[in-house]
């Protein structure tokens, strides 16, 4: 069965950095695009970043461009999110999500991790 | 960027009721719309993709319709397990795969 397990969250000071990891299993990781989605406390969902299955292209929401970097290691079945210059407004639960990846449903999310909390506070 | 709105923001209905949630896009997104269900403390679950295609394993009481800028999610006969927040998501544009603000569904 598909499993996505995030790690690396925690409390960080404004301006600091954090790297999230997402360990994937139960599917051929290298065949699927992957995403990060965040949810601020008590708020709705916000897509953060997409990386294509082979790592060739990456896309970001405007609020994290130049600060966050999505990457993947297909040999380790792991997705990453490097978060730099963190701000209080980045405080959220971060989910990694698998792209559904078939005709008509690319860029939808059929499996999600349990989420990992990132708190940016002094 | 494409903006998404949902109505109503909250909804209370009884078991067995037919309920409809509306999602509107700020510009045409063809049929590139998905619906998700999220329960408190849990990750979202994909219900519908391409506006009307039911994800495998999702009960048939859920259905989606629409195209262009206006879409609906319908639950034909509300069940107690359907208490959740529902989000639409457009995936028409790489500039951002935006979600709607959510509709919180409560069971009377």
Inter-chain CB proximity A47 and B89 less than 8 Å: yes
Residue A102 pLDDT greater than 90, yes or no:
no
Residue A49 pLDDT greater than 80, yes or no:
yes
| Residue A92's pLDDT band (cuts 50, 70, 90) | very high
**How many Cβ pairs closer than 8 A exist between chain A and B?**
59
Best probe of the B interface among A22, A39, A44, A59, by most B CBs < 10 A, is A44
CA distance B100 to B83: 18
Residue that has been written with the tokens 């079945």 in this structure: A77
- Shortest distance between the Cα of A99 and any Cα of chain B, in A, equals 11
State the pLDDT at residue A90.
98
State the pLDDT at residue B93.
83
Of A44, A46, A110, the CB nearest to B55: A110
Contact call for residues B9 and B85 (beta carbons, < 8 A): no
How long is chain B? 108
Contact call for residues A70 and A80 (beta carbons, < 8 A): yes
B50–chain A Cβ distance below 8 A for any pair? yes
Searching chain A, which residue's CA lies closest to the CA of residue B85?
A44
- Concatenated DSSP letters of A43-95: S-EEEEEEE-TTS--EEE-GGGTTTEEEEEETTTTEEEEEE-S--GGG-EEEE
What number is the average pLDDT over the span A49-55?
96
**What is the average pLDDT value for chain A, to the nearest integer?**
97
What number is the average pLDDT over the span A63-80?
98
- Concatenated DSSP letters of chain B: ---EEEE-SEEEE-TT--EEEEEEESS--TT-EEEEEE-TTS--EEEEETTTEEPTTS-TTEEEEEETTEEEEEESS--GGG-EEEEEEE-S-TT--PBP--EEEEE-
The DSSP bridge pattern shows strands A92-99 and A109-112 to be: antiparallel
Render each residue's pLDDT in chain B as its tens digit; 108 residues: 899 999 999 999 999 999 999 999 999 999 999 999 999 999 999 999 999 999 999 999 999 999 999 999 999 999 999 999 999 999 998 778 999 999 999 999
Positive/negative CA dihedral, A90, B85, B5, B31 = positive
Searching chain B, which residue's CA lies closest to the CA of residue A38?
B43
Contact call for residues B39 and B29 (beta carbons, < 8 A): no
**Other C-beta atoms lying within 10 Å of the C-beta of residue B77:** 12
| Residue A118's pLDDT band (cuts 50, 70, 90) | very high
Inter-chain CB proximity A109 and B36 less than 8 Å: yes
pLDDT, one tens digit per residue, over A1-33 is 999 999 999 999 999 999 999 999 999 999 999
- Shortest distance between the Cα of B20 and any Cα of chain A, in A, equals 20
Q: Which tokens go with A120?
A: 């940016």
State the pLDDT at residue B49.
97
**Other C-beta atoms lying within 10 Å of the C-beta of residue A37:** 25
State the pLDDT at residue B75.
98
- Shortest distance between the Cα of A20 and any Cα of chain B, in A, equals 17
Q: Which tokens go with A96?
A: 């990694």
Contact call for residues B79 and B20 (beta carbons, < 8 A): no
């Amino acid at each position: 069965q598909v499993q996505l397990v995030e790690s690396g969250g925690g409390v960080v000071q404004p301006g600091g950095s954090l790297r999230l990891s997402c360990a994937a299993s139960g599917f051929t990781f290298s065949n699927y695009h992957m995403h990060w989605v965040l949810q601020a406390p008590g708020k709705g969902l916000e897509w953060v970043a997409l990386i294509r299955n082979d790592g060739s292209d990456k896309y970001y929401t405007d609020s994290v461009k130049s600060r966050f970097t999505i990457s993947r290691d297909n040999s380790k079945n792991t997705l990453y999110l490097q978060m730099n210059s963190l701000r209080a407004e980045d405080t959220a639960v971060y989910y990694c999500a698998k792209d559904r990846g078939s005709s008509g449903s690319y860029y939808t999310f059929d499996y999600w991790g349990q989420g990992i909390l990132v708190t940016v506070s002094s | 960027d494409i903006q998404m709105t949902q109505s109503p923001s909250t909804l209370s209905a009884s078991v067995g009721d037919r309920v409809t949630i509306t999602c509107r896009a700020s510009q045409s997104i063809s049929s590139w719309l998905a619906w998700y269900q999220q329960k408190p403390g849990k990750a979202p679950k994909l219900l519908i993709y391409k506006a009307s295609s039911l994800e495998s394993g999702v009960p048939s009481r859920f259905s989606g319709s629409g195209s262009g800028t206006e879409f609906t999610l319908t639950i034909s006969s509300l069940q107690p397990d359907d208490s959740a927040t529902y989000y639409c998501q457009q995936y028409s544009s790489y500039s951002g795969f935006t979600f709607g603000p959510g509709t919180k569904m409560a069971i009377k």
